[in-house]
Amino acid sequence: MRYQNHLTLPNDVQEVPQLNAFVDEVCETAGLDMSTTMKINLAIEEAVVNVMNYAYPNGKGDVDIDAQINDEHLKFVISDSGTPFDPTVKAEVDTTLSAEQRSIGGLGIHLIRQIMDTINYERVDNKNLLTLSKIITKK
């Protein structure tokens, strides 16, 4: 493990700028270019905002974001103790359909699938754990 960092946020979308700064710092440490950093930031923000919006329907809760970098991967683990939800079982969005023909939702996970190399969901000790990894290419 070359690097690891942790951030805890309340389920409040006002905290997204703090999340973006955290992801930028992690990606910079991993030596990623600006374009890749922006894409990863978008994927992580999408996943975290979904947790903020849906995990705690009855009030406040926290979202934990752990980042790890080794020689091959950049990994983010997003965890919460909210409502169980596995975004990986969501069907692929048919992007060939027009916006009017598509069912609502699913574009966020579609976006995350496009940007990240692996996505894994587990429910452990009453927590949702969503792991998003990106292969780091050496320059």
Question: pLDDT tens-digit profile of 69-96?
Answer: 998 999 999 999 999 988 888 655 555 5
**Cα(33)–Cα(40) distance, integer angstroms:** 11
The sign of the dihedral angle between the CA atoms of 80, 58, 46, 7 is: negative
Q: Which sequence spans correspond to the domains of the chain?
A: 3-135
Which positions ≥6 away from 120 have C-beta within 8 Å?
88, 130, 131, 133
Token pair, residue 41, equals 């930031």
The third-level CATH classification (topology) of the domain covering 3-135 is Heat Shock Protein 90 (3.30.565)
Asked if residue 64 has pLDDT above 80, the reply is yes
Please answer whether residues 93 and 107 qualify as being in contact, where contact means their C-beta atoms are separated by less than 8 angstroms. Answer: yes
**Cα(40)–Cα(20) distance, integer angstroms:** 10
The per-residue pLDDT of the chain, averaged, comes to 88
Q: Report the pLDDT value the prediction gives residue 104, as an integer from 0 to 100.
A: 47
Range with lowest mean pLDDT among 80-84, 106-110, 134-138:
106-110
For the chain, what percent of residues have pLDDT higher than 70? 84
